[in-house]
Amino acid sequence: MKLTTPLAALDAGIAMIHQELNLMPYMTVAENVWIRREPMKGLMGFVSFVDHAEMRRMTEHLFRRLNIDLDPEIEVRYLTVANRQIVEIAKAVSFESDVLIMDEPTSALTEREVDHLFAIIADLKAHGVGIVYITHKMDEVFTIADDVSVFRDGRYIATHRASDINRDILIKEMVGRELGAMFPKEIVPIGDVALSVKNLSLEGVFSDISFDLRKGEILGLAGLVGAGRTNVAETIFGVTPATSGEIFVNGKKLVVDSPLTAMHAGMAFLTEDRKDTGCFLVLSVLENMEIAVLMDRYVKNGFVSQGSLNAECEKLKGMLRIKTPDLDERIENLSGGNQQKALIGRWLLTQPKILILDEPTRGIDVGAKAEIHRLISKLAGEGLAVIMISSEMPEILGMSDRIMVMHDGHATGFLDRSEADQVKIMHLASG
């Protein structure tokens, strides 16, 4: 059988959950799940309309089966990234396919939601559905896989029974070399306070957040999805200005009313969703990297100094090991890891002093993760103050000097690197 289109694959019994979310934000959850398969009702036998009541009933029935608590009538744009991922999962399951391909389905999910997904997978397997599960998370491989196939740089490497291999063998085959440490955290001198947040609040979202961030320090922000970590980062950067509280940069009070104000103060912010709020997918790698400095030192007398800017982007391409034919390649053609490195390059061009990273390694491969971790550690060693939000416990524990844990819009505690462990973090994260 030769499958030439996604529709042909669906008709043949193959459904897929894509790594990059493909939902329509201004349509409801139910409309997204049943697109192209809407129940219809006729009017006098001549005209057919979508039967929205029946579509809601079908969605509620599907969600009960999958134990999903979402309103079918809410528009997708109002959902968190995690809940959008859950809608994608439900949509794929709704096809009742013989084969279900899952590409990084847990990249935006909490541990509880991951356990929920694994229960769905177990039920599908019990009903004879074949699962192709694509992931870079080692724990997931050894939790749910029967067989493991490794691909590297577009080439097939090997297939094993999951019970016959261990983590070290698998990582070596994935990256093509020994990987001594996934989290190459360097112990560097911690300097003066670069950012001070006092009783920061955003009405109805989070309240009374206070912390100091020092030069050379990596402050990890931990918590379950929905705890308010991203909202705090966006408020510090001026995306959603605070309703109360104070922000100080290098001891000077700053009213952060826009991202531009934050950038002028030396801040940079890598957002968690590189597709929706990071990359300009139809533009080149070069255009994506340079866009944050086209009003800055590379502009003279109203003209862009394109030669020096190109040279700096080429330098960053090499330093970050961005795999692309050239900088003129459209960024949508790059892998997720290389897109992420290009976005980091964008912010490094601004020469930031405070770097906010929201899920910096979400949905990228093991080798790219290690490279980004190494880069973060290097930047901290050069004196940058770093805030790193992550839903991956090993990343938080492995990369942070201190950890601020959030629950339901509040900071529930701080842990030093020497005392932090998964149990303490989960205790604080669960309130």
Q: Quote the CA–CA distance of 165 and 169 in Å, as a whole number.
A: 6
Q: Quote the CA–CA distance of 62 and 40 in Å, as a whole number.
A: 18
Percent of the chain clearing pLDDT 70 (strictly above): 97
* Residues 285-295: tens digit of each pLDDT: 999 999 998 87
pLDDT at 52: 93
Would you place residue 46 in the very low, low, confident or very high pLDDT band (cuts 50, 70, 90)? Answer: low
Token pair for 331? 């960024």
Would you place residue 314 in the very low, low, confident or very high pLDDT band (cuts 50, 70, 90)? Answer: very high
Do 257 and 238 form a contact (C-beta atoms < 8 A)?
yes
**Residue 63 contacts by C-beta under 8 Å, 6 or more apart in sequence?**
69, 70, 72, 90
Give the angle 257-262-266 at the CA atoms, nearest 5°: 160
What is the Cβ-side half-sphere exposure of residue 110, based on CA atoms within 13 angstroms? 13
Find the radius of gyration of the CA atoms of the chain. Answer: 23
Mean pLDDT is lowest, of 101-105, 182-186, 319-323, 326-330, for 182-186
pLDDT at 44: 60
| Higher pLDDT pick, 200 / 44 | 200
Do 425 and 403 form a contact (C-beta atoms < 8 A)?
yes
pTM above 0.85, yes or no: no
3-state secondary structure of 12: coil
pLDDT of 166 > 70? The answer is: yes
Mean pLDDT, residues 97-116 taken together:
85
pLDDT of 305 > 90? The answer is: no
* Residues 253-302: tens digit of each pLDDT: 999 999 999 999 999 999 988 888 889 999 999 999 999 988 777 888 78
CATH entry 3.40.50.300 includes domain 6-134: yes
Would you place residue 151 in the very low, low, confident or very high pLDDT band (cuts 50, 70, 90)? Answer: confident
Hey, which CATH number is domain 193-429, 1.10.1200.10, 3.40.50.20, 3.40.50.2300, 3.40.50.300?
3.40.50.300
Q: Quote the CA–CA distance of 78 and 52 in Å, as a whole number.
A: 20
Burial category of 137 from C-beta neighbours within 10 Å (exposed 0-12, middle 13-18, buried 19 and up) = middle
Same fold, 6-134 and 193-429: yes
Give the angle 403-407-411 at the CA atoms, nearest 5°: 50
pLDDT at 368: 77
Do 400 and 388 form a contact (C-beta atoms < 8 A)?
yes
Q: Which residue has the tokens 């297939």?
A: 159
Would you place residue 422 in the very low, low, confident or very high pLDDT band (cuts 50, 70, 90)? Answer: confident
3-state secondary structure of 108: coil
pLDDT at 146: 94
Mean pLDDT is lowest, of 100-104, 109-113, 359-363, 422-426, for 109-113
- Domain edges within the chain: 6-134, 193-429
Q: Mean pLDDT, the chain, as a whole number?
A: 89
pLDDT at 179: 44
